[in-house]
Amino acid sequence: MFKRKRLIIIVVILGILAASLINFVRGKYVIPILMYHSISPDAKEGESLAITPEIFRKQMRFLQDRHYNIITLEEAVDIIKNKKRVPVRPIVITFDDGYKDNYNYAFPVLKEYNFPATLFIIINEVGRAQADRVSWDEIKTMQASGLVDIGSHTVNHSYLVDLSSQEEIVKEIRDSKKILEDRLGCEIKSFSYPAGRFNERIRRVVVETGYKFAVATNPGMKIPDDDIFALKRLRISRNCANMFVFWVETSGYYNFIRENRSK
Ligand SMILES: [Zn+2]
């Protein structure tokens, strides 16, 4: 009888420990927001801002085959902000800088898989042939598909933290929103900090300008995971051609691993 009581106590303690462990792990989960730049056949080994169309397609097929739930950035923000139930294996796809190859190589794959994505556009780069950037017509075509949402990545891609004048910061953030809205005839809700760099002052301008959310890269653990004006993203580089690496990165725990590894 006495032995049985002891056994029950042990089982209860183990149960409590397991439940706290599950809670701890769950608390570290962050909806993975993938950050792509160029998707180009010329992408070289070791390049961090470009991958080949073959790798991109392989990754999208991986997400499709394993039944990931590709949601829009806005849906992810709604879940984070309103503490809604997270769907099974959610993923958000984003592209920075507005490369023409996004239109030529990524967009057809997104259409094929019916995956939504957000493209962050630099106003003064649109249509610049020397830099291989998308044109307004291409942006409009992608937007009209209903799959691609457009966000602002400033007017000139200036590193906002390096700008000393408040007026210049405001211009980069406010004018880009206004120009996109005039050109595309819709509300621009999202903003992407160039190089992911920002500070409290810059963040405040983004909020006050009327954006609904903003993405960074990985500002580290000093920024809470649920700050919808500094959402952490995962840079998808050549390394992620290895599907095991890609799987770890899309697990939802990569931010936690990274932040604790670099401590
Ligand atoms: Zn950029």
In three-state form (DSSP H/G/I as H, E/B as E, the rest C), the secondary structure along 58-79 is HHHHHHHHCCCEECCHHHHHHH
Q: How far is the CA of 239 from the centre of ligand 1 (A)?
A: 19
Q: How far is the CA of 122 from the centre of ligand 1 (A)?
A: 8
Q: How far is the CA of 261 from the centre of ligand 1 (A)?
A: 25
CB within 8 A of 263, min separation 6: which ones?
none
Whole-model pTM: value is 0.92
Q: Residue 46 pLDDT more than 80?
A: no
Torsion sign across C-alpha atoms 138, 140, 144, 147 = positive
Q: Residue 233 pLDDT more than 80?
A: yes
Q: Residue 118 pLDDT more than 60?
A: yes
CA 115 to chain centre: 14
Measured CA to CA, the distance from residue 135 to residue 201 in angstroms comes to 32
In the predicted model, what is the mean pLDDT of the chain? 93
Q: How far is the CA of 157 from the centre of ligand 1 (A)?
A: 6
Residue 37 is predicted with a pLDDT of 96
Average pLDDT of the segment spanning 134-158: 97
Q: How far is the CA of 27 from the centre of ligand 1 (A)?
A: 30
Q: Residue 262 pLDDT more than 70?
A: no
Residue 44 is predicted with a pLDDT of 81
Can you state the angle between helices 166-184 and 200-209, rounded to 10 degrees?
A: 30
Residue 1 is predicted with a pLDDT of 62
Q: Which residues pair with 36 in a beta bridge?
A: 95
Number of C-beta neighbours around residue 84 at 10 A: 10
Q: How far is the CA of 153 from the centre of ligand 1 (A)?
A: 7
Q: How far is the CA of 37 from the centre of ligand 1 (A)?
A: 8
Q: Is 90 helix (H, G, I), strand (E, B) or coil?
A: strand
